[in-house]
Amino acid sequence: MDKTPDISTLGVRAGQVRSQFNEHAEALYLTSSFLFDNAAQAAARFAGGEEGMVYSRYTNPTVSMFQERLAALESAESCVATASGMAAILATAMVHLKSGDHVLCSNAVFGATIQLFSSILTRFGVETTFVSPTRTQEWQRALRPRTKLFFLETPSNPLTEISDIAALGRVAKSAGALLAVDNVFCTPALQRPLELGADLVIHSATKYLDGQGRVLGGAVLGAKTLVGDPMTAFLRTAGPALSPFNAWVLLKGLETLQLRMVAQSAAALELARWLERHRAVARVHYPGLASHPQHELAKRQQRAAGSVLSFEVKGGRAAAWRVIDSTRMISITANLGDVKSTIIHPASTTHGRISAEARAAAGVTEGLVRIAVGLEAVADLQADLERGLT
Q: Which is nearer to ligand PLP, 64 or 84 (CB)?
A: 84
Q: Which region among 105-113, 118-126, 166-174, 373-381 touches ligand PLP (by CB under 6 A)?
A: 105-113
Q: Which is nearer to ligand PLP, 183 or 327 (CB)?
A: 183
Which amino acid would we find at residue 282?
A
Residue number closest to ligand PLP, CB atom? 85
Contact 182, 150 (CB under 8 A): no
Say how far apart CA 263 and CA 303 lie, in whole Å.
12
Which amino acid would we find at residue 268?
A
Q: Which region among 81-89, 123-131, 167-175, 293-301 touches ligand PLP (by CB under 6 A)?
A: 81-89
According to the binding rule CB under 6 A, does residue 70 interact with ligand PLP? Answer: no
Q: What pairs with residue 342 in β-bridges? A: 331, 372
Q: What pairs with residue 152 in β-bridges? A: 181
According to the binding rule CB under 6 A, does residue 7 interact with ligand PLP? Answer: no
Cα dihedral 342, 345, 351, 352 sign = negative
Q: Kindly report the CA angle at 218 between 206 and 57, in degrees rounded to 5?
A: 125
Rule CB under 6 A: choose which of 206, 243, 302, 365 binds ligand PLP. Answer: 206
According to the binding rule CB under 6 A, does residue 207 interact with ligand PLP? Answer: yes
Closest contact distance (angstroms) between CB of 187 and ligand PLP is: 11
Sequence-distant (6+) residues with CB within 8 A of 43 are none
Closest contact distance (angstroms) between CB of 112 and ligand PLP is: 6
Binding mask 112-131 for ligand PLP (x = CB under 6 A): xx------------------
Q: Which is nearer to ligand PLP, 220 or 368 (CB)?
A: 220
Q: Which is nearer to ligand PLP, 65 or 184 (CB)?
A: 184
Instruction: Tell how far CA 141 is from the center of its chain.
Output: 27
Rule CB under 6 A: choose which of 65, 73, 86, 323 binds ligand PLP. Answer: 86
Say how far apart CA 272 and CA 276 lie, in whole Å.
6
Say how far apart CA 260 and CA 254 lie, in whole Å.
10
According to the binding rule CB under 6 A, does residue 218 interact with ligand PLP? Answer: yes
Sequence-distant (6+) residues with CB within 8 A of 302 are 186, 190, 191, 287
Say how far apart CA 121 and CA 94 lie, in whole Å.
9
Rule CB under 6 A: choose which of 84, 160, 246, 307 binds ligand PLP. Answer: 84
- Does residue 72 sit in helix, strand or coil? helix
According to the binding rule CB under 6 A, does residue 62 interact with ligand PLP? Answer: no
Q: Which region among 9-17, 108-116, 171-179, 290-298 touches ligand PLP (by CB under 6 A)?
A: 108-116
Contact 257, 223 (CB under 8 A): no
Binding mask 160-179 for ligand PLP (x = CB under 6 A): --------------------
Closest contact distance (angstroms) between CB of 85 and ligand PLP is: 2
According to the binding rule CB under 6 A, does residue 180 interact with ligand PLP? Answer: no
Question: Which candidate, 168, 181, 155, places its Cα nearest to that of 287?
Answer: 155
- Does residue 285 sit in helix, strand or coil? strand
According to the binding rule CB under 6 A, does residue 184 interact with ligand PLP? Answer: yes
Binding residues vs ligand PLP (CB under 6 A): 84-86, 110, 112-113, 153, 182, 184, 204, 206-207, 216, 218
